[in-house]
Structure 1
Amino acid sequence: MSEYQEMADLLLPDVTETPEQVLARYPRRELPNGARVTRFAPSPTGFLHIGGLFTAMVNRLVSKPDGVCFLRIEDTDKKREVADGVTGIIQGLSGFGIHFDEGRTGPDSEAGDYGPYLQSARRMIYRTFVKSLLAQGKAYPCFCTEEELSALREKQEAQKLTPGYYGEWAVYRDITLDQVKQNLSEGKPFVIRLKSPGSMERRVSFKDGVKGKIEMPENIQDVVILKQDGIPTYHFAHVVDDYLMGTTHVIRGDEWISSTPIHLQLFYMLGLKAPNYAHVSPIMKEEDGGKRKLSKRKDPEASVEYYREQGVPAQSVMEYLMTIANSNFEDWRRQNARTPISEFPFKLNKMSASGALFDLKKLQDVSKNVISLMPASEVYDLAADWAKQYDGELFTLLSRDPQYATAIFDIDRTPVKPRKDIGKWSDVRDYVSYFYDELWDGQYDLPQNVTPADAAAIVKAYREAFRPEDDRDAWFGGLKDLCEPLGFAREVKVYKKDPSSYKGHVGDVSGIIRVAVTGRRNTPDLHSILALLGKERVLARLDRFQKAMEAMK
């Protein structure tokens, strides 16, 4: 038995398997040629943020149509883990329509043949590969204390040298078996470090799926691969997991670019084939004329919970994220208005290499378009669900008569050119307010080109001629018949030819009726509104408006 093997047995006596035995339990996936296997691998250390959602979406898209996307929970940082963090991640992603082919499905459940998909449950797998490196002399125990490591860094800084644990600064790099035994007998804690074969003179290059070719200095650091508590570092765990789980494309935030030389070196040291890497740029925010990374601490919109509270539909958020994921998505969407996002030909190399700007105003515009294409029944269901949690009064009114509420949302919901008044469910209260006496403020947004006296006269004449049973054509014909006796042109074009002969035109007359009944100058189809409000309520509002105008004469 070699000294390295004896050292490995001494340090990790609980490990009895070999890497070959582990590899046999994880056969290569049988997928069509060119199929891609991706993963989303969050840590349960906080809320699901928009950057994580974005990365998960990209991973899901890249795996289409015939690959696999799985969810792995990287819970090796137990100190920062939050209660119900796993559940929050899974429910959060599901709420935005992101579902996985395999992986973690709950705090105590999973699906798939390549698990466990919870890193804390894979402890012995990592230790098996660490022991193999120890037995080959490619790793070693380090007994340095925090104080010793701090002193080492201070010396390096004083000499203006590259900081870290490497080369001659790696004091335990050539530790002997006897020294290991002595330190263990003294009860000294230790970590396991990789014995890096890197050189300052060499560089490593790789093709990044988003940023193209990247060339960087080779890793020279003897990085920790197993911590004192026996849990691996992210560097080591992800390398082992991604190989065993058959990941073909590691798509992650570009803060990991600097660590990629370490990861490529680990694959090499383990004798495993490295996956393709693609580093997604952070989502940016405009501030003071410049751009900065969207902050989980400073920006409420960084949390996906913000969109739930505001009532931005999950579909709208995903639609907007697609616009910043691939610049050609908007052109595709214009030509494929009702096609599912999953059918968009997404390309990693069409992503922004520098970071896309997150624009809440554009999100609102995108959301208005998304909601405009929903059937009225879906708008009702989603608006009522949101109101149930965030606006109790609105929920009571909407649920009191679902058929009436759905009919409100159905006005002008035409397939050719639907109105786009609602951008989020928190807009609904204002949108429907004049349909409910409990919400309508009774204020009038009067046009400046019609006097209160003429407004009163128009409403008085209309009230006498009002026939709620008229269809749209008969109703509008009746409006035209009112115009000339009141001094208004029956046709807009007639008025434009000789504006000095008229007080206005039929559009002004209908506009006054609109203001009288709704308080607003801009609403969906007026005939539909009158029909839905019903005769009694329309007449009551006309009377109220007439009295208000007469009082202003």
Structure 2
Amino acid sequence: MNQAELADRLFPGVTRLPQDVLDSYPTRDLPEGALVTRFAPSPTGFMTIGGLYATQISERMAHQSGGVFYLRIEDTDRKREVEGSMEDIIRSLGYVGISMDEGLTVSGEEVGIYGPYRQSERASLYHVFIKDLIRRGLAYPCFCDADEVQAIRDKQKAAQLTPGYYGDWAVHRHWTPSQALVELEKGKPFVIRLKSPGLPDRRIKYHDLIKGEIEMPENEQDIVIMKSDGIPTYHFAHAVDDTLMGTTHIIRGDEWLASIPVHIQLFEILGFRRPEYGHLAPIMKMDGASKRKFSKRKDRDATAIYYQKEGYPSKAIAEYFMTLINSNYEEWRMNHSEAPYTDFTIDVNKLNVSGALFDMNKLNDISKDVISRYSADEVYAQASAWAASFDEELAARLSANRDYASAIFNIGRVSEKPRKDISKWSEVNDLYAYFYDEFFNRSVEAGYESLPGEISLELAQQIIREYEQSLDLGDDHDTWFGKVKAIGDQLGFAKDAKAYKKNPEAYPGHVGDVAMVVRVALSGRTMTPDLYDMMHVMGESRVRDRLKRYSTRS
């Protein structure tokens, strides 16, 4: 028996040759310089914030170059697969606004002609290339079970040698096809291993897109390229898939850096042009005074679903990622305030080599800025959509009176410097609940105690009674505030904060405190949108009812 006969015995149903497969995947017709990138997760857990960050880099690289970005699911490790994780991954990409040109959709359908886009459905393709390697004597069946492999490692450890299946330690590497046939006839399980041409004293060099020039030992291990169930390992599958799908650039976590010698060797042995790799350091977070990696086990904010549940707009997440990708993005944004973030061209050479620091406070600031630029209708639509999934009370409140809710959201939104009080949709219910009588009636009493300075309840009620007498919602802003100042003068308040600070013993407060008392009476809070606008949204009946309630409380 020769190598070709062994290959036929191992893969009797495989009749195609590698070139047949390569010819069935057309070369992509793209402009010069266009990149083809991908996100290729394993469905073994839920989408992390670091995964989204890396994926946005890949998506931007492809689309800013006029290229293609696609999603491939690398589900070759069925034992570790987590139910629902694939759907979570796809929904998370959509949540952040990362658009795929090809790949799987939430419904399970595929878009694109380079599929299947699940590795578990591509086994027949991999078998073509594995059979060819066996035919050429570059791969072989290995019949060692787990105990035998462990015994080899134990002997190597005792001899203080590099552990693994290689060289003279690779028992079946040296078998003839006839010897292998004997085991096959017995029905003994086997895996397929690559016959590595690597030597321990040789090194490889390659240029990493992010880390620069890298030098590493060559791979000498006879790695498994197909498991006993006929499914290839990730290492082998990705080399075939990235070639057939025309991938040009790969951004992935630097935990894969150690695999570079294996991957370069696979591309060389298969005769494929390898893509360019960039290895990204993990996103870091502050833990007290020190930095550390996110932990999916103990950090709620490590997963993408956390940000969805909190209600961060997708645009805010994307904008924040851009500041992590390239530090000069913030300067660009200041000079291009109205442009979409996709107009910015990212530079992979400027990525943070040591790991970007995820700053939640900065995310909140960016999110406030993003939401401040939305129209009231956009705020209503996004808040309602979020509430429909995560806050039934808010959803009911918003849907009960859209016009009233939109008017609330519109306060302070039409000025050159719009208010920035919302950083995420989960804050909306608490921020604006006092506009609604049901909430106000059950919770306002505690807020009534928030009086400025040394103002007593009696004086506050006197202010409100005077205010009730002068109130006319038909007044323009200047007229209205003139009346507030007149009440302050009448009750001995300073005309402004400066005068009060100069001689605080002479006044019960200043005119701003008079307005604050009115604010507290109407909302139970000291922090609200513009008081004049707030009253006009509430309407005269509601305003007068609340003023009366305050002025008569005991």
TM-score class, shorter-chain normalisation, is: over 0.9
User: Following the alignment from structure 2 to structure 1, what is the Cα–Cα distance between the partners of residues 225 and 263?
Assistant: 11
Shift of 1:502: 4.1
Aligned length: 548
1:159 aligned partner: 159
2:330 aligned partner: 330
User: Following the alignment from structure 1 to structure 2, what is the Cα–Cα distance between the partners of residues 106 and 86?
Assistant: 8
What secondary structure is seen at the aligned counterpart in 2 of 1:439? helix
Equivalent position to 2:543, from 508, 533, 538 = 538
User: Following the alignment from structure 1 to structure 2, what is the Cα–Cα distance between the partners of residues 156 and 493?
Assistant: 82
User: Following the alignment from structure 1 to structure 2, what is the Cα–Cα distance between the partners of residues 107 and 184?
Assistant: 41
Shift of 1:143: 0.8
Shift of 1:42: 1.2
2:525 aligned partner: 520
1:363 aligned partner: 363
Shift of 1:234: 0.3
2:2 aligned partner: 3
Shift of 1:106: 4.5
1:470 aligned partner: 475
1:117-136 equivalent positions in 2, closer than 5 A: 117-136=117-136
1:265 aligned partner: 265
Q: Indicate whether 1:488 and 2:501 are aligned.
A: no
2:223 aligned partner: 223
What secondary structure is seen at the aligned counterpart in 2 of 1:457? helix
User: Following the alignment from structure 2 to structure 1, what is the Cα–Cα distance between the partners of residues 169 and 281?
Assistant: 34
What secondary structure is seen at the aligned counterpart in 1 of 2:171? coil
2:164 aligned partner, one-letter code: G
Q: 1:253 to 1:176 in 2, by over 3 A?
A: same
2:278 aligned partner: 278
Q: Deviations over 1:289-339 (max 9, x none)?
A: 332221222211122111222222222222222222222222222222232
What secondary structure is seen at the aligned counterpart in 2 of 1:214? strand
Q: Tell me which moved more, 356-365 or 272-281.
A: 356-365
1:42-441 equivalent positions in 2, closer than 5 A: 42-65=41-64, 66-106=66-106, 108-440=108-440, 441=443
What secondary structure is seen at the aligned counterpart in 2 of 1:278? strand
Q: Indicate whether 1:529 and 2:529 are aligned.
A: no
Q: Deviations over 1:359-418 (max 9, x none)?
A: 223222222222111111111122122223332222222211110011111111135211
Q: Indicate whether 1:24 and 2:23 are aligned.
A: yes
Shift of 1:84: 4.2
1:284 aligned partner, one-letter code: M
Q: Deviations over 1:30-73 (max 9, x none)?
A: 21111110011112222222222222211101102301111111
User: Following the alignment from structure 1 to structure 2, what is the Cα–Cα distance between the partners of residues 437 and 225?
Assistant: 67
Shift of 1:494: 5.6
Q: Deviations over 1:210-259 (max 9, x none)?
A: 11111111111000111111111000000011011111001111111000
What secondary structure is seen at the aligned counterpart in 1 of 2:151? helix
User: Following the alignment from structure 2 to structure 1, what is the Cα–Cα distance between the partners of residues 3 and 425?
Assistant: 65
Q: Deviations over 1:440-480 (max 9, x none)?
A: 21122111243333322221211111111112122112222
Q: Contact 1:481 / 1:490 at 8 angstroms: preserved in 2?
A: no
What secondary structure is seen at the aligned counterpart in 2 of 1:319? helix
User: Following the alignment from structure 1 to structure 2, what is the Cα–Cα distance between the partners of residues 458 and 107?
Assistant: 61
1:498-513 equivalent positions in 2, closer than 5 A: 502-513=507-518
Q: Contact 2:95 / 2:308 at 8 angstroms: preserved in 1?
A: no
User: Following the alignment from structure 1 to structure 2, what is the Cα–Cα distance between the partners of residues 467 and 194?
Assistant: 86
What secondary structure is seen at the aligned counterpart in 1 of 2:552? helix
2:466 aligned partner: 461
2:529 aligned partner, one-letter code: P
Shift of 1:493: 5.7
Q: Contact 1:86 / 1:107 at 8 angstroms: preserved in 2?
A: no
Q: Deviations over 1:415-438 (max 9, x none)?
A: 521111111111111111221121
2:224 aligned partner, one-letter code: V
User: Following the alignment from structure 2 to structure 1, what is the Cα–Cα distance between the partners of residues 267 and 333?
Assistant: 40
Q: Deviations over 1:128-151 (max 9, x none)?
A: 111111111111111111111010
User: Following the alignment from structure 1 to structure 2, what is the Cα–Cα distance between the partners of residues 225 and 535?
Assistant: 76
Shift of 1:483: 2.6
What secondary structure is seen at the aligned counterpart in 2 of 1:15? coil
Query: Unaligned regions of 5+ residues in structure 1, if any?
Result: none
Query: Unaligned regions of 5+ residues in structure 2, if any?
Result: none
Shift of 1:264: 0.2
2:39 aligned partner, one-letter code: F
2:366 aligned partner, one-letter code: V
Q: Tell me which moved more, 355-364 or 523-532.
A: 355-364
2:56 aligned partner, one-letter code: M
Q: Contact 1:373 / 1:415 at 8 angstroms: preserved in 2?
A: no
User: Following the alignment from structure 2 to structure 1, what is the Cα–Cα distance between the partners of residues 265 and 243?
Assistant: 14
Shift of 1:439: 1.4
- Percentage identity across paired residues of the two chains: 51
2:95 aligned partner, one-letter code: G
Q: Contact 1:462 / 1:482 at 8 angstroms: preserved in 2?
A: yes
User: Following the alignment from structure 2 to structure 1, what is the Cα–Cα distance between the partners of residues 389 and 109?
Assistant: 28
Shift of 1:497: 6.6
Shift of 1:498: 6.2
What secondary structure is seen at the aligned counterpart in 1 of 2:388? helix
Normalising by structure 2, we get a TM-score of 0.95
User: Following the alignment from structure 1 to structure 2, what is the Cα–Cα distance between the partners of residues 84 and 508?
Assistant: 55
User: Following the alignment from structure 1 to structure 2, what is the Cα–Cα distance between the partners of residues 354 and 163?
Assistant: 30
Normalising by structure 1, we get a TM-score of 0.95
Q: Contact 2:376 / 2:413 at 8 angstroms: preserved in 1?
A: yes
